[in-house]
Structure 1
């Protein structure tokens, strides 16, 4: 035990050094205002607007400027390095991707699109991992158990994507990129304000010849060819002011991706097989924002989305009788009603409802229907924040009713859950504050899981975290300790069956963002111990320690920067004893404003060509150089 504590302490010292150095620099230096957004307003932590420094839960924010600077290939690559976030991927961009927040399974992460719950598939997998970065204005990553705010599956946390908007005189914007692996990207948009209408229109395409998704020295029967990727998208947003108190709007999105991949399963593969899947997602939503009176603001969102997933082998649906689900499609209707009410000067309340209806069906050989699944959820929530001198209080409660059914089958389930969250914050002085939260949550089994095991139970979670925040004009730093326990967690075991087990996780998160002596610094460290207690196993594809450090500075008109990401070893899956080695990657980037409208950017990714894997047998991108020309009028 003592040896383990010493090892963890050394790991903490090693991974926290970047964040602690930021604090020491900030304290030692006389920091001048540089205009960096270190304390932005967020909405996801309480479903109400709050400055980041006053949020009681752990939240990270990625701005549009961060997205541009990162030149990230996908949403997963953009989020990598944020405290509490990891991902697994079977190959390059576009292939199967899983998001892990706070060590929880990917089905226990909720994604919101402009505050509305995004669509998942029949096994609960997120369908927005390919969402185009060009269409995003900002991302909020809320870590920890927040079922009391967002309901089923919001155990690891919430990723809230706010789509792009433009105001002012209408203007065009866009970018074009070229890079390694024959990568080509192009996007264009036009938006602004005409009289009482704000609008934004955008289109784009990302395309890459790629690399071989599978390492054929580990999976010898896989096709060694390169596996390309193409993603085409379009979006539109319109908002009209009806009166000083009323706004109405509509959003439309379309995304089509075509991905080559290799099946690494030796029992069902030959080296000449060509695997492809095509994913189409479409959504349309309408909303109304009504200022009822000086204290009460009401927002109503109604969204319809559809996805289609077509998996083919050698140009035709998978022929094996053991794989009948080669074509999936799903439809979702979602309604979200969110209200904020200023009860008194120091007290603000939130209340509302979330309603979701989902339908899924799968087809196999000869277009035969394999199954049809339906589910419906209703959630009703209320909460409040209150300030008493230096003490901040947040309380939330929610009730969910969850119903699901497999057509022509007894498989299904009806579940109810009551969840809550209580948070306290105390301002020690003008710089330091303390925070703490306790919360409960739940995750209902999918019909897919119930069909595997008729006795499967819903999982229930209890979480706690305490932290301290240091905030000055140009620095915001947070250190917190968290722990969570899942009773009857739903997992897929090595017998290819869904079962219930107990899962624990605990650890530390350190985050900092600052402008110090001309340097922009963003740093995060996560130390954790996600463990399947019931099976006495560490959670697959989740590292015990990982972190990032991004440092940049403007010199002679050029912004020069470097980004380091490091992660420890991880167990690959519940099916093998294989361990994925720890790794680190280093990137260098430079940008220069040509004038007030044009910016040129270059990035050298994975500069030392590190070979690593996020899933056993699957390759990741090696060294690559990418150049972008961006047009963005002020």
Structure 2
């Protein structure tokens, strides 16, 4: 920042705050109570000023938690639930604000992650070693991020470093023969900022399905292996212009159970029951140009391409052969043009275009091309005690599907909006209220069964209160979302707009420093309901929450986390409620070395996140981390 010209300095209140928000030091020793947030308005704001409900997970918190997966890290965040068909690498569904798993958007460095032909996220297992921070935006964000952002947005920013180039890395050993190791080299060299890293995770796992419930299940261990590499570099061309490149590749292999008994490919009948494997490759490349156009205007053009290949395999034992029973390919090309304009100190705006071209194909089955063009604009204005946020967006989605020569076309148009108001009652208390709309376009599968099926349209309302001091930020929110044309399926499994769903309830979150303790508390009381069938929505609890507390003791930092959930329904059956407790500790061995230990599921609780599927029991894990300043 010292080398910026006076013009660039005055030009970048937005850009400099953005840099601070994304550059949290790995070595920070204090918890950010009121961090900067970008996702809620596509503009940088302190968490206490944000009108929509947001939570932030920093790099320090990721390392402290020692969570094994992204889903486990997010578990306990207000508004977030997940289902998983087994252990790491297994099919995972994210639920935000009680909405369907297809009604959530995941962004990585501002780029929307891919979905499959059913609208399900393909990126739910991103290695935590790659992540710098996460913003979880809860509630209907269609006016900011377009289609499917009805439940909210999980915004992931990958690792970045500034300062002299340094090596870094860690290795974790633990239960179920788990090995997790990563290493990298990053920093600033002349006008370049760069980060190069790679890693590998492997575990023997456990049987994905419960053989005592389903006798056809193979009770062998279902392991998982993931290998990944990432590189980022950006160059400062001048005080007003910078460019950057990023590349990421991930390959994973996962064993899983289907519970169908002997494989459908076992023609001889002498293979072990239920032995299946999946393989997934994800490759992405991106480039950006950021320009300071004037003292108030910053513009960014981002280009990206990504490809996902998924295969399911069955293994013959004699002789050993691999048989591709299913292969799914998807490719996404995207152009994002975003702009931030600071009219005055209290008045800011943003506008931009999103162009996404998705190609999906199932081997010997179908090919689908989906093109999305979205245009958006937003304004945020502060008038003394009153804050106003207005967002408007229009999306055009065109779909062409080829089912073995049968061409089916569909298109969706939607204009979505958000109006939010905040009123500062006192220096510590603020009231908020908002109303918003959103939509979910039909999936490739939906179009294949009924090209005339329409998009789901959602309406949402929120009202809340925020309490903020230098040591505490707390939020209590009432929320309600409903739709009258949810996509359902008839007896022939054809998609139809026959559903009416709603969810409403209360959500509380608190972050505070109390008597030397760092405390996080969340609680949700909701009613995700299928009005049409008069039944609860599957895999979503009426009540859930978490409590986490940690503190430094001498040269150690120790902490504990408790997460609990009430019972959930699934296809008419019941998944029992559960409570999980984990404890963790870390110790600085030197200025560059940190030792960590975590004991997960302390009470060895048996519970289900999906009916008939096992979950991890008690496990002890130890980490040695090299993290120079």
Q: TM above 0.5, one fold? A: yes
Aligned twin of 2:328: 328
Shift in Å at residue 447 of structure 1?
A: 2.2
d(CA) in 2 for partners of 1:39 and 1:338?
A: 25
d(CA) in 2 for partners of 1:202 and 1:349?
A: 36
Shift in Å at residue 491 of structure 1?
A: 4.0
Aligned twin of 2:522: 524
Aligned twin of 2:371: 376
d(CA) in 2 for partners of 1:167 and 1:395?
A: 35
Select 2:604's aligned residue among 605, 609, 612.
609
**1:129 and 2:124 are equivalent in the alignment:** yes
d(CA) in 2 for partners of 1:499 and 1:99?
A: 23
d(CA) in 2 for partners of 1:449 and 1:504?
A: 21
Select 2:254's aligned residue among 247, 256, 259.
259
Say whether the 8 Å CA contact 1:592–1:599 is kept in structure 2: yes
Instruction: Show the 5 A alignment for 1:479-628.
Output: 479-491=476-488, 496-500=493-497, 501-573=499-571, 577-628=572-623
Select 2:409's aligned residue among 393, 412, 436.
412
Say whether the 8 Å CA contact 1:412–1:447 is kept in structure 2: no
d(CA) in 2 for partners of 1:87 and 1:497?
A: 26
The 3-state SS of whatever aligns with 1:169 is coil
Say whether the 8 Å CA contact 1:412–1:451 is kept in structure 2: no
The 3-state SS of whatever aligns with 1:67 is helix
Aligned twin of 2:348: 348
Say whether the 8 Å CA contact 1:80–1:87 is kept in structure 2: yes
Offset from partner CA, 1:475-504 (integer Å, 9 cap, x none): 111101000012211245776443331110
Shift in Å at residue 410 of structure 1?
A: 3.7
Specify whether residues 491 and 548 from structure 1 end up closer, same or farther in structure 2 by C-alpha distance, changes over 3 A only.
farther
The 3-state SS of whatever aligns with 1:76 is helix
Select 1:43's aligned residue among 35, 38, 51.
38
Shift in Å at residue 313 of structure 1?
A: 1.5
Aligned twin of 1:16: none
Select 1:385's aligned residue among 362, 380, 388.
380
Say whether the 8 Å CA contact 1:264–1:617 is kept in structure 2: no
Specify whether residues 492 and 130 from structure 1 end up closer, same or farther in structure 2 by C-alpha distance, changes over 3 A only.
farther
d(CA) in 1 for partners of 2:322 and 2:82?
A: 29
Specify whether residues 586 and 495 from structure 1 end up closer, same or farther in structure 2 by C-alpha distance, changes over 3 A only.
farther
d(CA) in 2 for partners of 1:331 and 1:454?
A: 22
Specify whether residues 247 and 628 from structure 1 end up closer, same or farther in structure 2 by C-alpha distance, changes over 3 A only.
same
Listed as ranges, the gaps of 5+ residues in structure 1 are: 1-33, 364-368
**1:199 and 2:199 are equivalent in the alignment:** no
d(CA) in 2 for partners of 1:495 and 1:525?
A: 40
Specify whether residues 561 and 339 from structure 1 end up closer, same or farther in structure 2 by C-alpha distance, changes over 3 A only.
same
Moved more, 550-559 or 616-625: 550-559
Offset from partner CA, 1:429-466 (integer Å, 9 cap, x none): 11100111100011110121121234422100000001
The 3-state SS of whatever aligns with 1:218 is coil
Aligned twin of 2:153: 158
Instruction: Show the 5 A alignment for 1:90-105.
Output: 90-105=85-100
Aligned twin of 1:12: none
**1:85 and 2:80 are equivalent in the alignment:** yes
Select 1:470's aligned residue among 467, 479, 483.
467
Shift in Å at residue 268 of structure 1?
A: 6.3
d(CA) in 2 for partners of 1:317 and 1:309?
A: 14
Shift in Å at residue 314 of structure 1?
A: 1.9
Query: What is the TM-score with the length of structure 1 in the denominator?
Result: 0.91
Specify whether residues 201 and 482 from structure 1 end up closer, same or farther in structure 2 by C-alpha distance, changes over 3 A only.
same
d(CA) in 2 for partners of 1:539 and 1:163?
A: 33
Instruction: Show the 5 A alignment for 1:192-231.
Output: 192-231=187-226
Listed as ranges, the gaps of 5+ residues in structure 2 are: 1-28, 265-270
Moved more, 115-124 or 582-591: 115-124
Shift in Å at residue 106 of structure 1?
A: 1.1
Say whether the 8 Å CA contact 2:129–2:182 is kept in structure 1: yes
The 3-state SS of whatever aligns with 2:102 is helix
Say whether the 8 Å CA contact 1:330–1:360 is kept in structure 2: yes
Specify whether residues 313 and 267 from structure 1 end up closer, same or farther in structure 2 by C-alpha distance, changes over 3 A only.
closer
Aligned twin of 1:299: 300
Shift in Å at residue 161 of structure 1?
A: 0.3
Aligned twin of 2:435: 438
d(CA) in 2 for partners of 1:514 and 1:524?
A: 12
d(CA) in 1 for partners of 2:599 and 2:295?
A: 51
The 3-state SS of whatever aligns with 1:77 is helix
Say whether the 8 Å CA contact 1:524–1:549 is kept in structure 2: yes
Aligned residues: CA RMSD: 1.5
Aligned twin of 1:140: 135
d(CA) in 2 for partners of 1:312 and 1:494?
A: 30
